[in-house]
């Protein structure tokens, strides 16, 4: 598998294809039309490669950044960017992925535009619904993955335990072993 899907939501996982956004050189996971097709297939948006080309990749990056701008505005309690709203709504208004029934079961087939429409629709569902209040950004400083916190008490700190959670816990353990415990909130007596 070429891509990671820690969020379980196509729109948020799509935003995560630009890793470590705040680093001087973020890691771009959608560097070619082929990697975009792989993302569509691996995410389950489609069952086959839609045959993306360079203009489709440019459109995908535009949609990804628009979704991120809206998510970031929501996380920081700022007004939504009108341009980002327009981009997401334009993509969401296009025909979605076609679901077909075959002798083998359900089959998802799409053009790149249809696949992007499905991602935009997932973003609309999150940002326009009750799940918007559950949005969080990963607590690992190098990670900028956004996820929905469905944990009890809304105490989830990382996008995924298998990646960022393990790294943060290991770093905290090493710091304690060195006699350098991580900072904790002051307790009141």
Measured at the alpha carbon of residue 25, what is the angle toward residues 164 and 119, in degrees to the nearest 5? 65
Given this model, what pLDDT does residue 182 score? 60
Given this model, what pLDDT does residue 145 score? 83
Within a domain: residue 144? no
> How far apart are the C-alpha atoms of 182 and 22, rounded to whole Å?
22
Within a domain: residue 170? no
Within a domain: residue 50? yes
* Structural domain harbouring 62: 10-136
20 or 161, which is more confident: 20
Within a domain: residue 177? no
pLDDT band at 189 (very low <50, low <70, confident <90, very high): very low
Select from 68, 72, 67 the least CA-distant residue to 87: 67
Within a domain: residue 103? yes
Given this model, what pLDDT does residue 172 score? 58
Given this model, what pLDDT does residue 4 score? 80
Q: What is the pLDDT of residues 114-133, one digit of tens each?
A: 999 999 999 999 999 998 88
Q: What is the pLDDT of residues 18-53, one digit of tens each?
A: 988 888 888 899 999 999 999 999 999 999 999 999
Give the number of domains in the chain: 1
- How much is the pTM? 0.81
Within a domain: residue 188? no
Please state the separation of Cα 23 from the chain's center in Å: 17
pLDDT above 90 for 159 = no
Within a domain: residue 128? yes
Provide the phi-psi class of 148: left if phi over 0, else alpha when psi is between -120 and 50, else beta: beta
> How far apart are the C-alpha atoms of 65 and 22, rounded to whole Å?
14
Within a domain: residue 104? yes
C-alpha radius of gyration, the chain, whole number: 19
pLDDT above 50 for 73 = yes
> How far apart are the C-alpha atoms of 130 and 126, rounded to whole Å?
7
């Amino acid at each position: 598998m070429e891509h990671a899907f820690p969020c379980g939501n196509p729109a948020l996982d799509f935003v995560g294809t630009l890793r470590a956004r705040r680093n001087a050189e973020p890691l771009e996971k959608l560097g070619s039309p082929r990697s975009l097709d792989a993302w569509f297939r691996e995410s389950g948006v489609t069952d086959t490669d839609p045959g993306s080309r360079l203009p489709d990749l440019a459109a995908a990056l535009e949609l990804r950044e628009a979704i991120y701008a809206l998510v970031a505005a929501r996380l920081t309690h700022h007004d939504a960017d009108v341009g980002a709203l327009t981009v997401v709504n334009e993509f969401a208004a296009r025909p979605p992925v076609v679901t077909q029934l075959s002798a083998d079961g359900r089959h998802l087939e799409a053009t790149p535009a249809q696949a992007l429409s499905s991602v935009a629709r997932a973003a609309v569902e999150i940002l326009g619904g009750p799940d918007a209040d559950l949005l969080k950004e990963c607590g690992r400083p190098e990670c900028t993955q956004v996820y929905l916190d469905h944990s009890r008490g809304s105490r989830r700190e990382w996008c995924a335990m298998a990646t960022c959670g393990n790294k943060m816990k290991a770093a905290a353990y090493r710091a304690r072993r060195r006699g350098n415990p991580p900072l904790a909130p002051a307790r009141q007596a």
